[in-house]
Amino acid sequence: MQKTVVLFAFGWSLVFLACSTKPGADAESTQPVTPVQVAVAKRGNIAHIVTAEAVLYPLRQANITPKISAPVQKFFVQRGDHVREGQLLAVLEDRDLQASAQESKNLYQQAEALYENTRAATVPDDFIRAKADVQTARQTLDAAQTVYQSRLQLFKEGALARKLVDDAKVAEVQAQSQFETAQQHLTSLETVGRSAQLKSAQAQMEAAKAHYESAQAQLSYAEVRSPMNGIVSDRPVNLGEMASSGAALFSIVDISEVVARANIPVQEAAAMHIGDPATISGSGVTLAGKITVVSPAVDPNTTTLQVWVGAANPGERMKLGLTVQVAVNIGDVKDATIVPVSALLASDEGGEKVMIAGADGAAHESKIEAGVREGDNVQILNGVKPGDRVIVEGALGLDDKSKIEVKGLGGEGVTKDKGEK
């Protein structure tokens, strides 16, 4: 009986406690509170830096193709060796070229001697002989004329037969013809003949000289030299193999300066100009450079322009073919609303959002449109106004109107709210 009374009393106490709970109690008192860090959105200037991926190329490169086809006799450099302009890289087999050059040299010397002989001896001798012939023919003509006149006078006096006069006339005519022939020969030597002989001898000498110089040039082609300073990037032919005049024997690249080629959207590339400062980053290295080329033609497939950024590459730290990132500052955006990049979240509906810490102790979701970025800061075009406290730590997974507790200031380069401690 006593046990029944105790149980009855305990039951009524539970009913009393249950009835004493208020049916309209605030459910929010049981909602968890999330600690967060915030940053205050500010108004200021932000640099409009355009970034894009690019591929690294050398400033200069050369594929060295031999001018003759011959086996490789000797190499002086290997892949990866640094070379300087004019340095001997390889020698090709050249014994046949040496023989040809020696033969051409001998023929040139022979033609040169012939010209000197013609100029100094042959032509003067012919000229002297022709003058002597003219003088002899003149004397013969004078004698024949004297004989003819004497016989003609005797014939007129009746002291000489007609036949003797006719014979004398014939001798005079023959002497006149010989004189004219000798005179014409002398005149020819004085004008055309002497000049023609000299020109002929000189032409033969010059032709032999040109042939000799050509043979010398062919012989020099057996020595393969570097046209520039750089590094041997390729040497596809082995010792003893045939080097062909149609294939590269060496590839030389100069990477003391590099060029990053990037494809940039037309709208952004339109603000870029040759000489604008830019940077190239990759493999833990950043190089300061400038724009060297802005292509005038748009790629119709990507609607981009190719932009080249050139930079010195001290120590050759960046290697060719790397995918790097170029950054170009195309100007400042004035009076922009700026928040840390860490405040941006992906929205479930697409696009981006931020969570704003409200004065009511709750996080409020706000869809935003981001603009340009500079380092850890980003421009907000709409969805945030200066002075708003955006959550930079602890916002991931928060629902709209979730209860929060601001524990401190986060973000880089953002002004601290006066109410935060």
Q: What is the per-residue pLDDT for 411?
A: 59
The residue behind tokens 């401690």 is 421
Q: What Å distances lie between residue 263 and 106, 189, 254, 294, 372, CA to CA?
A: 62, 77, 23, 10, 18
Q: What is the per-residue pLDDT for 29?
A: 55
End-to-end CA distance of the chain: 66
pLDDT, tens digit only, all 421 positions of the chain: 344 433 334 444 443 434 444 444 454 556 789 999 999 999 999 988 888 999 999 989 999 999 888 899 999 999 999 999 999 999 999 888 888 888 888 888 888 888 887 776 555 667 778 888 888 888 888 888 888 888 888 888 777 788 887 888 888 888 898 988 888 877 776 665 566 777 788 888 899 899 888 888 888 888 999 999 999 999 998 998 888 888 899 999 999 999 999 999 998 888 899 999 999 999 889 999 999 999 999 988 989 999 999 999 998 899 889 899 999 988 888 999 999 999 999 988 889 999 999 999 999 999 999 988 888 999 999 999 999 999 999 988 888 999 999 987 765 444 434 334 3
Q: What Å distances lie between residue 30 and 18, 23, 33, 355, 406, CA to CA?
A: 18, 15, 9, 22, 19
The residue behind tokens 């001898």 is 201
Q: What is the per-residue pLDDT for 9?
A: 40
Q: What is the per-residue pLDDT for 12?
A: 40
In the three-class reduction of DSSP (H, G, I as helix; E, B as strand; rest coil), residue 205 is classed as helix
Q: What is the per-residue pLDDT for 121?
A: 56
User: How far is 219 from 102, CA to CA, in rounded Å?
Assistant: 10
Q: What is the DSSP letter of 299?
A: B
User: How far is 308 from 326, CA to CA, in rounded Å?
Assistant: 9
Fold of 51-57+255-332: Elongation Factor Tu (Ef-tu); domain 3 (2.40.30)
Q: What is the per-residue pLDDT for 202?
A: 84
**pTM > 0.85: yes or no:** no
CATH code of 66-94+222-243, in short, is 2.40.50.100
